[in-house]
Amino acid sequence: MKIKRVYEKPERDDGYRILVDRLWPRGISKASAEIDEWIKEIAPSTELRKWFNHEPEKFSEFKKRYKEELKTHVAELKKIHEISQKKKITLLYSAKDTQYNQAVVLLEVLQKFK
């Protein structure tokens, strides 16, 4: 399982591509994105996303709050985990910051998910 910006060119080794943003990425068509599934419910809440505002100094607190939110999305986590048992998965996100975004946190949670 890996993460990747949705704006990067799809590659064969991406496997099953899952968009994990609540909002559809700007400037990209559904056809060109080559997304297999969009699980927007697993994205951070609108309130948390707006509070974080991709400010790196808030990332530690964002990570803590987002992990709390994910506790209410066990079904979605389980679904992604089950898919990952059969296929290679790439979690797609639209944030410009590749280090401080929700996909980084989600990947960490999924790698520990049982």
pLDDT band at 99 (very low <50, low <70, confident <90, very high): very high
- Say if residue 22's pLDDT is above 80: yes
In the block, residue with structure tokens 């890996």: 2
What is the reported pLDDT for 100?
A: 96
Parallel, antiparallel, or unpaired for β 2-5 and 37-38? Answer: unpaired
- Say if residue 31's pLDDT is above 90: no
pTM of the model as a whole: 0.94
Parallel, antiparallel, or unpaired for β 2-5 and 16-19? Answer: unpaired
Instruction: Please give, one letter per residue, the 3-state secondary structure of 6-75.
Output: CCCCCCHHHCEEEECCCCCCCCCCHHHHCCCEECHHHCCCHHHHHHHCCCHHHHHHHHHHHHHHHCCCHH
